[in-house]
């Protein structure tokens, strides 16, 4: 290790250099997701213009990037400001090169950006810094300005008069192969899906996508997230759609919710049109929903007094949710903005949504009951699974200390040559033990009738002493609520069911085979199960035990 570490080793990275050296800090990934991220940073600027009432159309053209073509994103918003800044520098150049430079820091909305996702002043700079070449063209106030860059460094800037009253911004760039070593091509399906989501969140904003040689597609939504939630739902509905759109000062919530008959939840979260995976806005909604459902269930006697309140987890199954939240100055966890961490978002969403949900539940009693019933069904299933898991833990073969005491085991260490006889009661066990070959033949008596498992689950089956004993004796394992047949751990090469040739004997044989067929069918498929010739209890010492594979019994 060098001892020369000192002042000369300290570096200060400026703007573009910092982004190029540590791109993952700014865009999260330098793989395909990273290429899509820097593209969406530019598209989101057009969406910000729409959110503030100044953009109706955004076109996205994607050429063959590997062949030197470009991504071109054009909108008809107000155009990016340009001209000399107070220090004499070019404003347009600053916006795309100097970190934390922009108009979106003005939280009182004087610039027109009442809500925006781009609050860090980094997004477009990251796209510029991580592009082999990048240019921006802005038209506004009867003038046109253009700046071009290479790997974030200014190459050319010019301004000129413009003859008509056009306005808008066009950005053209090609991702840098030095940064995106896995490839710079955009994934068509992922990009189209993202544009469709943005269209749902921006009703009235038209996206036009031209991807290489594909024909131009128009992506548009008139009803917004109502169209979105219907598109998300892939199962049969249990309820109608709950929709609310509320606003308080400069904070607003658009929310669509429904329940279907599936066992999973589907949700899409956004803050200022930026997609999130979780956050305080989701927490606020879940608190509002849980509180409203419990109040309704208590008031309408859908929950008994002794019943515990319905939990948020129990309300997840079958939930389809789209939540679009807008606020000034949102705080995210990281530059990629996947998690909203603004503390006030939870209280705001909870307050704005709670009243609307209560009104909807009171107005739609069938929907309300369907949600409560779905949650209680989820509770019952979870409790049943918990009991099964506890039973499995108790019966896991790794925790079994000894073999069943009623088992008269074989002494051979070569387990493949050994066989075990399942006999009916102690009487049959006694005579069979006298007739067996102790080296290779074991005897396991079954007391009474084995549990009929045809309609029972494993957790109930494991509560039966006879079934538990056979699992231990055979060398089976119980893991993850399943009976596992590991041939290397089986204790016998043949498992032989014997019983008297009468009604009770036939019943025992049928119940035994039902247990094997339901929980360990591999034993049948691989030829481990046999049926012996009855009645075995008449065999005396010195008589050779004979067995045959009873195909008829197995089929029965």
Active site residues: 424, 500, 502, 504
Identify which of 427, 417, 412, 528 has the alpha carbon closest to the alpha carbon of residue 470: 528
Give the closest residue to 226 by CA, choosing from 245, 239, 209.
Answer: 245
Beta carbons of 453 and 518 less than 8 angstroms apart = yes
CB of 91 closer than 8 Å to CB of 85:
yes
Q: Please, what is the Cα angle at 399 between 397 and 400, to 5 degrees?
A: 65
Residue pair 294/309 in contact (Cβ under 8 Å)? The answer is yes
Distance from chain centroid for Cα 55: 34
Residue 301's contacts (CB-CB under 8 Å, 6 or more residues apart) are none
The per-residue b/e assignment along 450-478, b for 16 or more CB within 10 angstroms, e otherwise, is bbebeebbbbbbbebebbbbbbbbbbbbb
The answer to whether 271 touches 340, Cβ cutoff 8 Å, is: yes
CB within 8 Å of 391: residues ≥ 6 apart: 458, 459, 462, 463
Gap between the terminal Cα atoms of the chain: 77
Element (H, E) at 99: none
């Amino acid at each position: 290790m060098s001892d020369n570490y000192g002042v000369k080793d300290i570096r200060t990275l400026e703007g573009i250099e910092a982004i190029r050296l540590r791109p993952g800090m700014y865009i999260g990934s330098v793989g395909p997701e990273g290429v899509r991220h820097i593209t969406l940073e530019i598209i989101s600027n057009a969406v910000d213009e729409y959110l503030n009432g100044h953009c109706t159309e955004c076109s996205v053209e994607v050429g063959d990037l590997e062949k030197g073509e470009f991504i071109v994103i054009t909108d008809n918003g107000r155009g990016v400001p340009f001209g000399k800044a107070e220090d004499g520098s070019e404003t347009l150049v600053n916006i795309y090169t100097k970190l934390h430079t922009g108009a979106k820091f003005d939280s009182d909305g004087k610039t027109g950006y009442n809500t925006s996702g781009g609050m860090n002043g980094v997004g477009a700079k990251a796209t510029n810094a991580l592009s082999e070449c990048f240019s921006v063209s802005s038209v506004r106030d009867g003038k046109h300005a253009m700046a071009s860059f290479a790997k974030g460094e200014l190459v050319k800037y010019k301004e000129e008069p413009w003859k008509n009253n056009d306005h808008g911004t066009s950005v053209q760039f090609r991702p840098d192969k030095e940064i995106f070593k896995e490839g710079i091509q955009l994934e068509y399906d992922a990009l189209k899906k993202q544009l469709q989501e943005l269209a749902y969140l921006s009703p009235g904003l038209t996206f036009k996508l031209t991807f290489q040689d594909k024909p131009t597609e128009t992506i548009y939504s008139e009803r917004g997230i109502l169209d979105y939630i219907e598109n998300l739902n892939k199962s049969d509905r249990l309820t109608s759609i709950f929709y609310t759109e509320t606003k308080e000062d400069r904070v607003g919530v658009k929310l669509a919710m429904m329940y279907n008959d599936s066992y999973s939840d589907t949700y899409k979260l956004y803050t200022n049109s930026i997609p999130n995976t979780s956050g305080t806005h989701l927490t606020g909604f879940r608190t509002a929903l849980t509180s409203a459902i419990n109040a309704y269930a208590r008031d309408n006697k859908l929950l008994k007094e002794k019943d515990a309140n319905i939990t948020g987890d129990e309300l997840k199954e079958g939930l389809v949710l789209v939540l679009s939240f807008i606020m000034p100055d949102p705080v995210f966890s990281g530059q990629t903005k996947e998690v909203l961490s603004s503390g006030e978002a939870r209280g705001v969403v909870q307050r704005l949504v709670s009243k609307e949900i209560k009104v909807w539940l009171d107005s739609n009693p069938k929907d309300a009951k369907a949600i409560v019933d779905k949650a209680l069904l989820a509770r019952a299933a979870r409790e049943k699974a918990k009991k099964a898991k506890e039973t499995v833990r108790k019966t896991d073969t790794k925790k079994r200390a000894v073999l069943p005491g009623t088992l008269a085991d074989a002494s051979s260490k070569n387990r493949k040559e050994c066989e075990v006889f399942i006999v009916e009661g102690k009487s049959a066990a006694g005579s069979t033990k006298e007739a067996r070959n102790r080296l290779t033949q074991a005897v396991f008596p079954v007391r009474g009738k084995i549990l009929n498992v045809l309609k029972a689950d494993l957790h109930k089956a494991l509560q039966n002493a006879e079934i538990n004993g056979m699992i231990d004796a055979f060398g089976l394992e119980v893991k993850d609520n399943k009976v596992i047949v590991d041939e290397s751990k089986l204790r016998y090469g043949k498992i032989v069911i014997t019983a008297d040739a009468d009604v009770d004997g036939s019943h025992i044989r049928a119940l035994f085979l039902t247990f094997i067929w339901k929980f360990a069918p591999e034993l049948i498929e691989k030829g481990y199960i046999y049926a012996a010739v009855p009645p075995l209890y008449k065999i005396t010492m010195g008589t050779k035990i004979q067995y045959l594979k009873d195909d008829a019994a197995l089929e029965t």
